[in-house]
Amino acid sequence: MEPIKLTEQDVALLNSKVGLHSLLKSKKLNLRKALYEAKFNTEIRRRQEELIKLQNWVIETNQKVVILFEGRDAAGKGGAIRKITEYINPRHFRIVALDKPTRDERHQWFFQRYINQLPKPGEIVFFDRSWYNRAVVEPVNGFCSPEEYEVFMQQVNEFERMLVQSNTFLLKYYFSITKGEQAIRFKDIKKNPLKRWKMTPVDEKAQELWDEYTAYKKVMFEQTNTSHAPWVIIKANKKLEARLFAINHLLKSIPYEDKVE
């Protein structure tokens, strides 16, 4: 690998708080990687200032915002949500990551448990996985019947249309990673005692069921990519780039005041 040539701006960035953190967080010094991370994290920090303005507009004008984060296991959904919410007011947003349905929830209308989590005026709700579990994860793993899957696919577009017509901003992000990248991330999770809890029985089978997930994902995109609620597919093999893309798209999609492009 050729030696890296640093500009004055690069040196100043590496000597900043963000740059020093990127340099020192790993035992083995990697100047190229540290510079890459420092540049992206600096840009993300700038966009986080815009996210505060966006949230203030949501609060002041009583807007309702729903953002769905979907993708394969270990695709980086949670990390993106953490970056988006890092500095905004915690009293005016919620992160929803629902557990398995209760006995009562299994016998009620499927969308009801999600309706109960929708935002009140002046609030943003982030779904770390959403009702689209029924489009991919549940049928692949046998957690729903073929009939339940078909009913969901028949109802979801109209459900989302009603949300949008009720003056709710609805954004749907899908974080897309390759099979090889997922395997690398699973290995890293298993090696890290602070992250092992993230591996579930469903995750353990994800590589084995890769093709089945792909087939259901393809149908989901074909049938639920609508004009009122389109999918935004984010290439997520590179985490920092994926997070920045998601933040930029969010900022462009919400018409808040005093926006800096």
Strand partners, 231: 172
Are the C-beta atoms of 61 and 92 separated by less than 8 Å?
no
Give the angle 257-259-261 at the CA atoms, nearest 5°. Answer: 160
List, in order, residues 6 or more apart from 111 with CB less than 8 Å away.
Answer: 131, 155, 159
CA distance 51 to 49: 5
d(CA 186, CA 180): 10
CATH number at residue 123: 3.40.50.300
CB < 8 Å & 24+ apart, contacts of 144-150: 148/110
pTM: 0.92
**Domain presence at residue 89:** yes
- With residue 113 as reference, give the H or E element that holds it: helix 112-115
**170 exposed, middle or buried (CB, 10 Å; 0-12, 13-18, 19+)?**
middle
Q: What are phi and psi of 253, to 5 degrees?
A: -85, -25
In a domain, 4, yes or no: no
Instruction: List per-block mean pLDDT (blocks of 10 residues) for the chain, which spans 261 residues.
Output: 76 80 76 86 95 98 98 98 98 97 95 98 98 98 98 98 98 98 97 93 96 98 98 97 98 94 74
Tell me, what's the pLDDT at 2? 64
Range of the domain at 142: 48-253
Q: How far is CA 155 from CA 97, 98, 218, in A?
A: 22, 20, 18
Helix (H, G, I), strand (E, B) or coil at 33: helix
Q: How many CA atoms lie within 13 A of 142 on its CB side?
A: 2
In a domain, 5, yes or no: no
Residue 17 lies in a domain: no
Phi, psi (deg, nearest 5) at residue 126: -105, 120
Q: Judge whether 12 lies within some domain.
A: no
Helix (H) or strand (E) holding 190: helix 179-191
Would you say residue 72 lies in a domain? yes
pLDDT score of 224: 98
Is 208 a member of any domain?
A: yes
Q: Which of 110, 125, 127 is nearest to 55 (CA)?
A: 125
Residue 178: inside a domain: yes
Number of domains within the chain: 1
Which residue type does 243 have?
Answer: R
pLDDT of residue 27: 72
